[in-house]
Amino acid sequence: MTKFDPQLADRITQMVLQALKNTGNPAQTPADIHAPLGVCTGDYSKFTDRPDLNQTEKSENKQPEPAALSGVITAAMVDAIKGDTLVLDAKSKLTPLGADRVKERRMTVKRVSNPQSAIRNPQSNTWLWWIDGRCQAVEKLTTHLRETLTPLGARHDASQLHQAVRDAARRVRGGQAAGAILFVPSAALAVCYANRCPSLRAVVATCGEAVEQGVELLGANVMIVEYPHHGFRSMLAMAERFTSAKRPELTGVERQLKELASCE
The predicted-structure confidence for 31-81, as pLDDT tens digits, reads as follows 555 555 555 555 555 555 555 555 544 444 545 556 677 667 777 778 878
Question: Can you tell me the mean pLDDT for 118-141?
Answer: 78
- List the domain range (segments joined by +) for residue 89: 68-119
Q: Which of 17-21, 103-107, 209-213 has the lowest mean pLDDT?
A: 17-21
Predicted local confidence at residue 122, as pLDDT:
41
Q: Are residues 145 and 186 in the same domain?
A: yes
**CATH number, domain with residue 162:** 3.40.1400.10
Reference 147, options 220, 245, 240; nearest CA is 240
Query: Residue 188 — pLDDT band, cuts 50, 70, 90?
Result: very high
User: In the prediction, which pLDDT does 131 show?
Assistant: 96
Q: What is the mean predicted confidence (pLDDT) over 123-141?
A: 88
Is position 94 within any domain?
yes
pLDDT given for residue 22 in this prediction:
66
Q: What is the pLDDT of residues 88-117, one digit of tens each?
A: 877 778 888 888 888 998 888 888 875 443
In this structure, is residue 23 part of a structural domain? no
Domain count, the chain: 2
Please report whether residue 45 resides in a domain: no
Residues 114 and 131 in one domain: no
Q: What is the pLDDT of residue 51?
A: 55
Q: Does residue 31 sit within a domain?
A: no
Over pLDDT 70: what percentage of the chain?
75
Q: What is the mean pLDDT of the chain?
A: 79
Q: Is residue 208 part of a domain?
A: yes
pLDDT of residue 117: 38
Q: Please check whether residue 54 lies inside any domain of the structure.
A: no
**Residue 251: what pLDDT?**
75
